[in-house]
Amino acid sequence: MSLTKQLYQLRPDDKHRWLLDADLTYCSGRFLLIRDNFIFRSSGGYLLHQAAEKYLKTLRRIVRPQVNINKHGHDLKKISSDLKGKIEPSSLKKIAGSINSIEPLGQFRYADQEGIRDIPTMRDGWQAVDYLVTSLREKISDNWPLIAIGLKRYIEQSNSKDQNLLIESLLRENSSSKYWINHLSGINAKIDRNLKKYQIADNK
């Protein structure tokens, strides 16, 4: 069964669709960077910036549904400003700190910005996205408890090759791997064994 057909069968509503799309964009960006952080640096960095934007817009759609989804375009700081008063000030401050490191990744899309595509900038942005994603997903789950199951169902219905690809893209070199291990545990015994490998590696 094709991945497109699997997505269709999930029949997500609007909020689920936005979160699943953000999850898969995040997986794609991480996959490119863990495979080769030079050749794919531009594409991977841009995808991670795009993923951060989609997670922020998903949460905004939940807590402020009246706001037009296109408001503020790709400006992460302005999008996050719409969350003020809807989540704790301390969380918003941490989100803002992460965005400072993520913003340079947005410039990776431009061919004349080679100067900022250095390893430290990419690594800082990459780690900041990892933190931001899990932080926002927790906020999304707090406000809409059932919405976070989309990626779990997607992985459950995928073939073994795609399951391994998605799990690797989420867990390899991820400072927030504990979140994903907890989130994806219990789908089935085979996936749990796969997750355990990353848990052991993380504890070494």
Per-residue pLDDT tens over the stretch 128-139: 999 999 999 999
Give the pLDDT band of residue 41 (cuts 50, 70, 90): confident
Per-residue pLDDT tens over the stretch 174-198: 999 999 999 999 999 999 999 998 8
More confident residue, 31 or 35: 31
If DSSP states are collapsed to H, E and C, what string results for the chain? CCHHHHHHHHCCCHHHHHHHHHHHHHHHHHHHHHHCCCCCHHHHHHHHHHHHHHHHHHHHHHHCCCCCCCCCCCCHHHHHHCCECCECHHHHHHHHHHHHHHHHHHHHHCCCCHHHCCHHHHHHHHHHHHHHHHHHHHHHHHHCCCCCHHHHHHHHHCCHHHHHHHHHHHHCCCCCHHHHHHHHCCCCHHHHHHHHHHHHHHHC
